[in-house]
Structure formats: C-alpha cells, structure tokens
Chain A
Amino acid sequence: MTELIIKNGFVYDPLNRIDGEKMDISIRDGKIVESVKEKANGINASGMVVMPGGVDIHTHIAGGEVNSGRLLRPEDHVKDVEVKTALTRSGVGYSIPSTFTTGYRYSKMGYTTLMNPSMAPLEARHTHEELADIPMVDKAAYPLLGDWWFSLEHIRDGLIEENAAHIAWMLQATRGYAIKIVNPGGLEAWGFGRNVHSLDDVVPHFNITPREIIRGLCKVNRLLNLPHTIHVHTNNLGKPGNYVTAIETMKCVEDLAQGDKPVIHITHIQFCAFKGSDWSTLSSGAGEISKYVNNHNHVTLDMGQVIFSNTTTMTADGPFQYGLYNITGNKWVNHDVETETSGGIVPFKYKRSSAVHATQWSIGLEIALLIEDPWKILMTTDHPNGGPFTSYPKILAWLMSRAAREITLSKINKRARKKSLLPSIDRELSLYELAIVTRAGQAKALGLKPKGHLGVGADADVAIYNIDPQRLDISKEYKVARKAFKKAAFTIKDGEVVVKDGEIVKPVTGKTYWIDVSTSMPHEINDDIKKKFREYWTVEYENYPLPDSFIHSSFPIPVKAEV
C-alpha cells in the first residue's frame, strides 16, 4: 500500500467546483482518497497550483499517418534530439516526436491522458504497437468509421441498429474508444480522386449524403451508449467560407440532442471557421460559430489552435491534404485504406507574415474566448496540425492574458491584425477556467469518469505547477505562468511522482482504454462481417481483430448498448 499526500496546494478541480482552495490531496494505491496516515510521504505544494493531470482529447501521437509523417521529415528531427539517460530512452522531437519523447514531453507538462483521434481500423495493430511505446500516459484511439463501407451501406438502407451492432464489433476489434468521422463521404469519393462539397452532396457509388452519415452515426452513438459523442472533422475543412458547413453540421444533429447532453464534438474548430469567398477575402467566422455554440448545448468543440511554427499536417482527410499539397507544392503523402478511410500528410509552415495564417491564429483564440462556457471549448492544437503540443503553454498564456495576445498581435500580418476580433475581446481565462479547458472539460467531454478531477475515487493523476495564485497575477505575469506550465513542478501518475521540476524521475507505462460494448446480437454480426470479409478487405477475417493479449495494459470500459 503506497500513500502520498499533497499538502497545502491551491487546488483547482472544476468538476468538484473547487476553485483555488488551499487543501490537501490524499492518495492511496493510485487513487484519490479521503485521507492517509500521518507518516505518508508528503509533497509540500504550498505556493503552488494543484490540478488534475492534463487530458488531451485530440492529439495525433501514434499510428500509420503519424509515423509516415516522422519518416517523411528527417529535417524536422535533426534540430531537436533527446539523449538517452539512465532513466529514459533517446529520441527526436519537434513537430512529430518519436514515441518515447512524446510520452516524456507530455508528462513534463503535467499531462497524463492522451487521445489519439485517427486510427484506420485495418491498421489498428500499428496504432496500438506505438501506443505501447508511449510511456508516462494513459491513452486511447478513435477508429475512423465515417466512410466505412458497412456504415455507408447500412445508413443508406436505414439499418441504424445493424450499423450500431457492427460498430460495436469494430470498437472491440480495433480496441477503439469513440466513433471518428472525417469529411464524411469525402474520403470514399477520394478513392477515385473526388470529394464532396456540402452536407447534401451525394457520395459517388453509394447514394448517401454526408448529412445522412453524420445523423446516422449520431444515432448509432446513442444506441451504443458510448461515453464520448461522435467526434467529427467536418466537410470542407480548410476552405474559405466553411464556417457555414460547420454550423450546418452542428445543426444537423440538433434534434437528436437529449436534454443538455452533447451529441456531437466538432474537432479543431479553427480549421472550420473560415469566412470569405477565397483566400484573399478570408476572415473570421468565429463570431457566428460562437454565437451558435453559446445558444446550443448539444455540442462541444476543441480549438485546433495555430502556432507560428514549422509543423507537419496530417489527417485522414485525403482530399484536404491533396489541396494543401497543391497550395504549397510541398512533399505530400497520401494513404488510402481499403473500404475504410484515407489519409494524407504535408509539412506546413505557419508564418506570422501571412494574412491567412495570422487570421487562422486569431480565429482559434477568438472562438475560445467568445464561447462563454469553457466546458464547450477545449484547448488543442490538433497536434501537430496547428502546431506541436509542446506549444500548449503559449496558448495558455494567450488565453489568460490580453497583454500576451497583444504582443503577438503586434507582430502579425497587418491585414490580419486589422480584421482580428481579438482587440475587441477583454476576456482573460482564470486558472479555474484553464483547468476546465485543459483537463476537466476534456475528461467530461470524453465521458472518462476517473480523469480530469481530484474527487475521492479518481485516478491519482495530478499536476502541480509552480504558480502562486495569491502572489502572481497571471494576466500580467503570463511569462512566469507560461514557464510553469511548460515544466510541471510535479507530475503524479497513478499515485507515483513521475516528474519533478520538469524532469522525468520515474518512467512508467500507462493504460490503454477502449470501449467494450455488449450488444444483443454479437454472433449474427460476427457471421455477417465474416461473410463479406474477403469481398471487402485483402486480409483474412481471423487476422483482423486484435487479441486482448496484444494490447499493452488493456483497460476495457464495459458499456451496455440498446441493441
């Protein structure tokens, strides 16, 4: 029995409505408990901020496309290396760090749970092999299911319950956590080099529209009682004028909401909030999107904030990545996956001097600040698409400090600065709100109950930052806060101190979460999938599902479906 007590910290635990109260946090055997014995090991956190461990709802850290990005960019690694130590493995960093480095760097910032949002089901084995080599954090992955032939055919034929049962099979087979939808219909069309351009375009050969796919899978998600909502990358991503598509996408499931519970998560909203008819007239759609979200409770978002940096874009949105290749002429990887999805990679440099890039930078922050309820908008960069996750402290500084925003604003493209809504926004996020957008809100949106809070029974994943809220005005002294968020004073994972003063002191491995859905007809579904298997894929049925022994520290979350 190992015990630990964190003493006298200023605790920010929004899920339990604790806002900077000075209190002790007791830990026993990896869980938060009411109290521990006197002689328990203690951490003196006086003058420091104590938060639940950070949670990232959307970060590309493992699997086929991430690794192709690594392979593509030796020039990205050469400038940023990690030397082997007695405790840690070596690696490379910058926009697509190697697996070990990814785990260490997140942990050093106080993060303890990561969600890999893009897993081609056929290549799930790859994603999980890499996740096993990402130390320090718990993790999970979302299988891409929006263009899966079974989904398209079932939904077209009105077979929502059948589709739900098939998706339950898929979540089990791939050890997945949520239903990921990327440019619904567009990826199938991309198989022959085409795309869809609105929610009502018909997908070639399948006679179904993106609207039907989104609504169908939203219903499926409800039937399966999945803890997270459908996780949607909209159509028309990265195109001027696409804020309309984003709003239509949210609207199209409005009637499926039950009470105040969200039914859709729109990811990296910044990339879907472009107003204007072309690049030269590009402006921010943040106002419209925020207005919609402020008036509706069925949706959560994450930012997809842009950082001025040389990064690597990677999504399952093959046609989008092709477009980006056409704009940049840069190197381009495309990877279409039979019967399921596609993928693409293009290196990309966000420049302050570019009106478009600077506007994108502004849009991300505008949305985060204009949406009144922080539980609805979570902090991400869509790592590495908007920029590497190591830039998170910079974003926190922009969110907490108008002054920090103004400094960056003064350096960006003039045209973008003129159009930016940021000068009109005074809002500065408090530590309590920052704790929501970086952990509590993320865990809540994910339905990940033991995470994102410090109540009794929660996993003892804790981040302690060297910020004294009684002495430090984070709005003015954002640089000090930024530094503190970059290097956690302590990171505690499952009750063990793993980071101290921003350095790894104990390498640990994390759990792999997945959703184990039980349905009433597993055998029929098995038979149906088996029957079509050779027709649809080029691998054998028996080699497709991952055996549990394959999953590193497998941690299934049982869920009972309504089908």
Chain B
Amino acid sequence: MAVITGVTCPVCGTFCDDIELIIENNVIVEARNACAMGAAKFLNYSAHRTKKPLIRKNGELVEVSMDEAVEKAAKILVDANYPLMYGWSNTSCEAIRTGLELGEEVGAVMDNTSTVCHGPSILSVQDVGIPSATLGQLRHRADLIIYWASNPWSAHPRHAERYTMFSDGRFEGSTWKSYLSRLRGVMSRKKIQRASNLVLKQDFCFTPQVEEGLPSSVHQKRRRTIVIDVRKTRTADAADCFFQVEPGTDYELLQALRVLVNDGELDVDEVAGIPIETLEQLADLLVNCKLGIIFFGLGLTMSKGKHRNIDAAINLTRDLNKRTKFLIMPMRGHYNVTGVNIVFTWQTGYPFAVDLSNGYPRYNPGETSAVDILSRDEADATMVIASDPVAHFPRAASKNIAKHPLIAIDPEVTPTTMLADVIIPPAFVGIEAEGTAYRMDHVPLPLKKVVEPPETCLSDQEILQRILQKVRELRRDMN
C-alpha cells in the first residue's frame, strides 16, 4: 500500500491539488479529500476503458497495432484538405504543444472545448479586458462573493470550501458556522412542521418568509455570499441571499446594476423580475464591500446575448473599481481548459478557433470555430482528443462529424468514439501520465503519474508525437 499526497485532481477547473491517493497493486483504492466527481474518476476511471487501438474495417471496429493506428490517423490527416483537430481541455499542456505542431504541419483548424463553454467570455475579455486574481487572493480578502449563473455545488464541488465562503484567509474567515446555524433553523422548522402535521392532522404552514429586500445577514460584518441564477440551485441554498432572474434577462439586470452603482436612477418597478428597491440595496452592497468577486458560469455564456452578457458583467466590475476593489472570474469547467487557452495563445496568439490552414494562425470565431465549421460541413476529417463533441455539440454539427473520417484519441467509450474510424486509447493524464495543467485562475500545477498505464497505452503527447512523425514521413514520400 502506498499513500501519495499532493495529487492534483484531473476533473474540474477548481483543480484541487491536495488529493491523497491510496494505491494497492497499481490500483487506486481510496481517494481522500476528493469530491464526488473527483472520487468517481480516481476510483472508476478504468471501468469502461479501451486498451488497444481500434480501426473501423467494413463497418466494424477491430483491434490493430499502435503502428497501424498511427499510420491510419496520419494518412487521414494528410489526405484531408481542411481537417479539424478538436478537444484538448482534458490533457496536458505538453500534449497540447505537440498537438499544435501537428496541427500546423497538416494545416488544421485547432479548436478546443472553450468554444462551447467560455468562448464568449474570451471574446468579451478581448473587448473590454478582465480585472481578476488568483483564487487565494479571494480566500484571503473577499468579503462579498457572488456566484452568477454558476453552480459550484454541482460543477465545482470544492470551490466554496477551498477558495470562497467556507475558506479561511488572512483578512476574511469561513462562514461555515453561520451556514450551519441557518441550516439548523431550516431543519428545525421542517421538524416542527412534520410534528404539527401529525398532531393536528392538518397541514400546518409557517408563513412563508416574504422579506422586504435583502435578508439582514448580508449586512453582517463577515464574508457574504449571493447567488444569482434562473433557478434555485444547491449553491443558492448555501448562500446568504438568492436572486432568481427570468431566463434571458441577465443582460438587463447587469446593466441596471451598472446604472445604480454609478448613482443613476431607474424609473421602472422591476428588472429581470427583481423589484427595483431590492436592486438598489444590492447596488449598495456591491459598492460598500471591501473586495467583491463575481464568479460567473455558463448561464451567462450560453444564453441569449452570449458575450454581450459577459461584457456587461465585466463592465459592471470595471465600474465598481471606481468605488472599491472588485474582481470577476469565469468558472472554467475542465481541469485544463484554461491551460489549453494559454498554450494556444503563446504559440499562435489566439486562445481557440485557430485556423492554421494558410500556414499562419488566423482567428475568427463564428467562422473558424468548430461548431460553425461542422454545421457548414467544411471539415473533411476530424481528430478529437480528450473530449466528446458528439455528446455535447448540437446534432447539426455532430452529424457532419459522422460523415467524414474521424480519429479519436480517448481512453473512454463515448458517443464520439462510437462514431470513430480510428481510436487510439491513451494513458489517463493525471493518473497514468504526468504533465502540466492550469487551474481556472491561471495557476499552473503538475499532473501526476500515480499508477502505471496498461502496456498498450501511450500518453497523449507520445501518440501525437508519433502521428506527427508519421505525417512528416508520408509528406516526404509524397514529395
């Protein structure tokens, strides 16, 4: 039995690095400190994996040697006029660097999963910039935390514990205790209700709490948390205060707040379903905090307005800096989606949707982005790595992936691999192979190798390196 400490968790953008793994006979048997998602990966990653390369022959996937699979993949890429190489956010920066070299060699469009995640946030950063920080800065200093259209309880389970409401910093402490006492209040009300129902044999109801404006707890001298979302998420349950906005009206709400924090007046009764008096109180709260932070999620990027919603959110943050310190951060999903933007940018100047087909990097989201290219049926071959677009792209795009040769570098069986013509299963990065990845706040951390991969599995980087070599050989032969 071996205990390995300080392991980074290759699941979400929170990228916790304090996982302790217990390993017996090259198998992870326990994952301490991990959340439900992290534990699910560490303990089950291998359950449905593919171990040997596969090629589709006469409609059936058959096992082949690594060399044959690599050659086939290289041939597909060399033969294609406009290949798309997509994915990248669940692999190491080292693999991405090699991937970009391969993409350049074959003149591919390189796109990553941020295209369907925080791509609009990036467009907005390119419009107005972004005042942000590393997560520790917020742990130490933030006294007002806003989760806007993001639900860390479900998507980033340890975010609150490590960096925000339930974390302890130099200048601000955890609000765990006040959360517990509030929770106890709710529980005991429920108990009384149940008991009364039994005794009185009738429905006994507490008068529902209709508070005017904000609850008093948001005015306390401690860290406070606000959730703004279209539905009452689990995160909202844990917050001091929740605002339910009507779907598609975040933009109005953000702009209304901008007016209010700039001392303007709004001559309407409500915005986005929230009474104006409440909004005025909220604006006061924003202006009077010591350091505020907005964490925003896909609720803003994927709904109506897209990057314009983010423009408004960042502009609100910029405005607030005239009055106090205010920061904003996207809640990045995959553990290395931040890293893929970073590596793409340092090598090509652009974070996603990079078209290398002209021999130099070109960037025009909407034109050179994966969903658009696929929906217009322009890519005549696709290579997918460390991602599952067929599960997550609209069907209009997925069906065109199915139409042309498809290479999948993925250890898992997914809807994408189910359609693939070549499958090369790699070692799991962060478990069976090492590397580097970036937390959502741009902090780079090591991915660790804690167990040996199956003999037939190479790392993503090695596979890409082999394909690159083969591509160069094929090219040489052709000339």
Which A residues form the contact surface with B (CB < 8 A)?
A: 62, 64, 67-68, 70-74, 77-78, 81-84, 89-92, 96-100, 122-123, 125-126, 129-130, 133, 191-193, 205, 322, 325, 330-339, 342, 345-346, 535-543, 550
Contacts and interface: CB of A to CB of B under 8 A. Distances in A.
A78 to B, nearest CB: 8
A68 B134 CA distance: 14
A339 B345 CA distance: 27
Given A82-B360, A98-B348, A334-B327, A543 B446 contact: yes
Which of B318, B342, B443 has the most C-beta atoms of chain A within 10 angstroms of its own C-beta?
B443
B443 A122 contact: yes
Contact of A83 (B97, B351, B359): B359
Nearest to A81: B360
B132 A335 contact: yes
A72 B127 CA distance: 8
A90 B348 contact: yes
A476 B125 CA distance: 47
Given A129-B436, A336-B327, A345-B129, A191 B137 contact: yes
B153 interface: no
Contacts of B126: 71-74, 331
Contacts of A62: 346
Contacts of A130: 346
A71 B341 contact: yes
B139 A71 contact: no
18 contacts: A64-B442, A67-B342, A74-B126, A74-B349, A84-B356, A91-B361, A122-B136, A129-B343, A192-B290, A325-B129, A331-B125, A333-B131, A338-B133, A338-B137, A338-B139, A535-B170, A541-B6, A543-B446
Contacts of B135: 338, 538
Contacts of B170: 535-536
Nearest to B350: A74
Contacts of B130: 333-334
A333 B101 CA distance: 29
Nearest to A69: B345
B35 to A, nearest CB: 16
Q: How many interface residues does chain B have, given as a range?
A: 35 or more
B81 interface: no
Contacts of A78: 363
Given A81-B360, A90-B104, A192-B141, A67 B131 contact: no
A441 to B, nearest CB: 30
A539 B445 contact: yes
Contact of A339 (B128, B136, B363): B136
A92 B347 CA distance: 9
Contacts of B446: 125, 543, 550
B291 interface: yes
Interface in B315-374: 318, 321, 324-325, 327, 341-343, 345-351, 356, 358-363
A126 B342 contact: yes
A344 B129 CA distance: 10
Interface string B265-293: 00000000000000000000000001100
B251 interface: no
B348 A205 contact: no
B206 interface: no
B42 to A, nearest CB: 17
- Label chain A's interface by main secondary structure: mixed
A98 B349 contact: yes
Q: Which of A71, A89, A536 has the most CB of B within 10 A?
A: A71
Nearest to B318: A332
B89 to A, nearest CB: 16
B347 A99 contact: yes
B349 A332 contact: no
A72 B350 CA distance: 9
Interface in B155-184: 162-163, 170-171
B8 A537 contact: no
Contact of A537 (B5, B6, B125, B136): B136
A79 to B, nearest CB: 11
Give me the 4 closest cross-chain CB pairs, A-B, nearest first.
A338-B136, A193-B325, A92-B349, A331-B129
B347 A193 contact: no
B305 interface: no
Contacts of A91: 347-349, 360-361
Contacts of A537: 136
Contacts of B127: 331
A74 B307 CA distance: 16
B248 interface: no
B414 to A, nearest CB: 29
Nearest to A535: B170
B52 to A, nearest CB: 30
A50 B170 CA distance: 56
B260 interface: no
B129 A333 contact: yes
Most chain A CB inside 10 Å of its own CB: which residue of B163, B348, B356, B358: B348
B140 interface: yes
B438 interface: yes
B93 interface: yes
Nearest to A124: B444
B96 to A, nearest CB: 10
A269 B270 CA distance: 53
